[in-house]
Amino acid sequence: MLIARHNAILEIARQNGRVTVDDLARRFEVSPQTIRKDLNELCERRLLARTHGGALLSSGVQNVGYEARRIISSREKADIAARAAALIPDNASLFINIGTTTEAVAQALLQHSGLMVITNNINVASLLRGYSQIEVVIAGGVLRHADGGIVGEQAVDFMAQFKVDFAIIGASAIDPDGSLLDYDYREVRVTQTIMQNARHVVLVADSTKFERTAPVRVGHLSQVTTFVTDKCPSRQMAQIAREHDVTLLETDTDQIAVASRAK
């Protein structure tokens, strides 16, 4: 039987997408060792998945809630977004697909001019709506109420009409073999079409995506032009990037370099 603290930990994880040992120890006024034991027991029951310093919801078939995803690694996502936006010149055309990290990229593009943004993400369209220097084209299809994504065959057909300079895509999980994974096969079809119709594909994903899994294959890292992340903890993934001429940009490394120059 789960003890009351375990149930409380699970509820926090459901709300926030992840939990950390230090935060839980302060919250429940117990030692970090006690929390680690709790997390290990919950992970043994496959209710959570252990990560460095904490744990994530372990579901491999259902994504974390939308608002929780916005909170997870929010600082890292902002850094990734800024780095990705710097790759996009003014007067470019681009796809932006569904995801909280891709939405952060849209936010980082607000000072650009002459952009044409084609998206199946209502949140992106709403964010860009007030900026007349950016033309926004939104796909038709089935609205997914959970996160404002537009999916389905109509969205696939709509995206196939375009050939753009850049595609900004996210992924729910990244497998050790380089597979890019997601939860909704309808969304995957749209993302695959986006990748096929862009000259440069920019994958934006924070390092927690290496710790997760999902059931539907979007594609492979080899199909990406540039991968922007906060850090790539997997040597295997870095090797895959090198072998397929994928530019790997790590924002944590950028910040370390800036700090070193400032000394």
Please state the φ and ψ torsions of residue 187, each to the nearest 5 degrees: -65, -40
| pTM for this entry | 0.76
> Are the CB atoms for 196 and 43 separated by under 8 Å?
no
Q: What is the pLDDT of residue 69?
A: 59
Average pLDDT, the chain: 88
Which domains, from first to last, does the chain contain? 4-58 (1.10.10.10), 68-258 (3.40.50.1360)
Residue with tokens 């375990």: 6
Residue among 167, 169, 204 nearest 93 (CA): 167
Residues in a beta bridge with 169: 203
pLDDT in tens, 90-141: 999 999 999 899 999 999 999 999 999 999 999 999 999 999 999 999 999 9
- Cβ–Cβ under 8 Å, residues 55 and 48: yes
* pLDDT attached to residue 259: 45
For helices 4-16 and 32-44, angle between their N-to-C axes, nearest 10 degrees: 80
Mind listing the pLDDT tens digit for each residue in 233-260?
889 999 999 999 999 999 988 655 444 4
